[in-house]
Amino acid sequence: MLTRIDHIGIACFDLDKTVEFYRATYGFEVFHSEVNEEQGVREAMLRINETSDGGASYLQLLEPTREDSAVGKWLAKNGEGVHHIAFGTEDVDGDAADIREKGVRVLYDEPRTGSMGSRITFLHPKDCHGVLTELVTSRADH
């Protein structure tokens, strides 16, 4: 069962500049940052609030580390902006299977490692009314 909006992913050309905008404009601070080599991104997670299920909601700022990454290709085509929405779930495997049975294409056969050690998969945007959708099971200590 999907429990919350885990994060909204925002693609950007300059991570440091974008982080500074969110810090100066809204007062959001970086909770976590990392480079995900598999996804080809450098990212910063800005915690917005905590949720009743013990998780949190974030803005995820994404800067590609290479042009051929999914975010790099998306930026080249669309420019900066909202890249995806992610829903939190206690069971990414089970929810992905249930959603697949409803005819929605799940992009990964097996969940992959996401931010802060989470387990993730994506749903095809053409099956989700044009929205790239991510399912996330957070690591227990985050």
Cα-Cα-Cα-Cα torsion 80, 72, 97, 87, nearest 10 degrees, comes to -30
**Secondary structure letter of residue 60 according to DSSP:** E
Give the residue numbers annotated as catalytic, written as ranges.
7, 43, 60, 84, 134
Place of tokens 């890249």: 83
Backbone angles phi, psi at 102, to 5 degrees: -90, 5
Whether 16 and 90 have beta carbons less than 8 Å apart is answered as no
